[in-house]
Amino acid sequence: MPVEDINTQAWNVYGKRQLARAYMPPIPDRLTWTPWEGAGPGAEVLGDITGQRVLDIGSGAGHHAVHLAKAHGARVTGIELSPTQHERAASTHADVPDVEFAQGDVAEYLAEAEPFDAAYAIGTLAFIDPHRVLPALRDGLRPGAPLILSLLHTDLHGRGPSTEVAPREQMILLRDDPPLPTQMWVLAPQLWEDLLTEYGFRVEAIDLLHHPEERAPVIQQLIRARRLPDRTARVSSRPRSAKPPLAHAAVGVGAILLSEQGLLLGRHRRGTLELPGGTVEAGESFEATVVRELREETGLIARPADVRLLGTLVDHIEGVLRVTVGALVHAWRGQPATQPNESVGDWAWYPLDQLPDGLFVCSAQILTAWRPDLPVDHTPAHFTPFAYGTPPATSVDGLA
């Protein structure tokens, strides 16, 4: 059976069970993007939707659509593939002003509809092949329209996102009933960003929303994207400057902290795991940059004398020369913690023999330059150690 037919069947059974129970979720006071309350932003991420045509993708019981119409003055269309889920919404909310419910495939529906001013999906888009639905959404939204997606990142069993664009089995759980198998595209944030960019969207932010109970491993990712304007057939250009070009390089540091518990890594808001570090500011030494970034990102306190520079890693990304200096921090004070307004947080210690997948490439390059025996794959970079009696320059190919 085709993947999406499996999902349609599962959600149809789910809706049938809920109809039998005569259960309808209440209309929320606030739009939430997770199955639990109090995590992340509300409807404000959609912008001002008063009087705007908004598409609810996989609208289910319709309670989110009704909330947006009543509380925010939006004109909401809920599109739902499952006939039983559609029946739940349409039979309960048929008389709500500025809300309509359609039953069918979202891509087919958008091919015939007028473009929408905004669209969102709460936990539903991952049941549809992104290579099919994202082009349809681009064509079905006005230029500049927001697209807000809440998607599974890590499931109840602690299984994180996939690093390839392929579906995997996930269960729909309903109390007192057997679980329903589905096929979901549970993808890493960077994959979603790549897909959205490929199909004409600009990703503005990706937030990881954690369950309020610390022991619960489940994580949702909230992606805020915007439909790009249509390009004209020809693009203007400007003449070259007669001045000689300036040298262009991005220079940063990455710090290795190894304790008895393991290696310190934090999670970027886009999902990658990485070492503390950042960009060198004007007038700073590399050691001072390590100390500053460590304090700003983790709250840990170190001194320049506690920092040993390992060497430089050089690679080219899209024509930009990138230089990263790896460093080993021998001593520090405090406990690592997520800091306000920082893009990396959720700091944790990982044993070297249990390093996680999804390392940021610069961090991976630093780690294999420091310990070539680590089994970490990454794109190549040229490593030159500083003069501490270390071996000559080598190519770090990431195939250890």
Q: Which residue has the tokens 């805020």?
A: 224
| Mean pLDDT computed over 84-99 | 95
**pLDDT tens digit string along 246-259?**
444 578 999 999 99
- pLDDT score recorded for residue 38: 78
Percent of the chain with pLDDT over 90: 62
Given pLDDT bands bounded at 50, 70 and 90, which one contains residue 221?
A: very high
Global pTM exceeds 0.85 = no
| Mean pLDDT computed over 326-330 | 94
Complete domains list, the chain, with CATH? 3-227 (3.40.50.150), 249-385 (3.90.79.10)
Q: Among 157-171, 238-252, 304-318, 344-358, which stretch is predicted with the lowest mean pLDDT?
A: 238-252
Return the closest-CA partner of residue 127 out of 293, 254, 264, 4. 4
SS3 17: helix
Q: Any residues with CB less than 8 A from the CB of 279 and at least 6 apart, and which?
A: 250, 251, 252, 289
Q: Any residues with CB less than 8 A from the CB of 54 and at least 6 apart, and which?
A: 46, 68, 74, 75, 76, 77, 116, 117, 118, 119, 120
What would the two tokens of residue 184 be? 């979901």
- pLDDT score recorded for residue 176: 78
- pLDDT score recorded for residue 319: 63
Given pLDDT bands bounded at 50, 70 and 90, which one contains residue 388?
A: low
| Mean pLDDT computed over 108-122 | 97
Return the closest-CA partner of residue 161 out of 273, 265, 38. 273
**pLDDT tens digit string along 164-209?**
899 999 998 877 788 899 999 999 998 999 899 999 999 999 999 9
Strands 118-122 and 99-103: unpaired
- pLDDT score recorded for residue 240: 40
